[in-house]
Structure 1
Amino acid sequence: MGSGSNIVTQLARKYGAVIFFPTVAVGSIYADWSHTRQWKRQQQQLAHSAQLKSQS
């Protein structure tokens, strides 16, 4: 039974990395994309309000 659980442990380590790293990569890419989108929206609002101020 000891060797059977050892194989399970090896598979968990091997495929754990295959699942873990892409998940972290995709998560951080999404977080950066989301933050950039929010930042661009704020910049647009600031530019728009500055444009309105300069017109009045």
Structure 2
Amino acid sequence: MIESRYWREKLRDELKWLRKKQTYKRWSEKQMVLYERQLMLVAFGVKLLIVIVI
């Protein structure tokens, strides 16, 4: 069984990174791609935690 504690800790760090980047006023293409990729990884992490808990 996967230990959800490790996923939650990693997810918290990734959410902090996303929140920090939200304050950008002008986005380069690279910044948008990196933000979108990180957002997708966070969404996958949340989905995985839901599956593990249920």
TM-score (norm: length of structure 2) = 0.49
Whose RCO is larger (CA < 8 A, sep 6+)?
A: 2
TM-score (norm: length of structure 1) = 0.47
Higher fraction of helix = 1
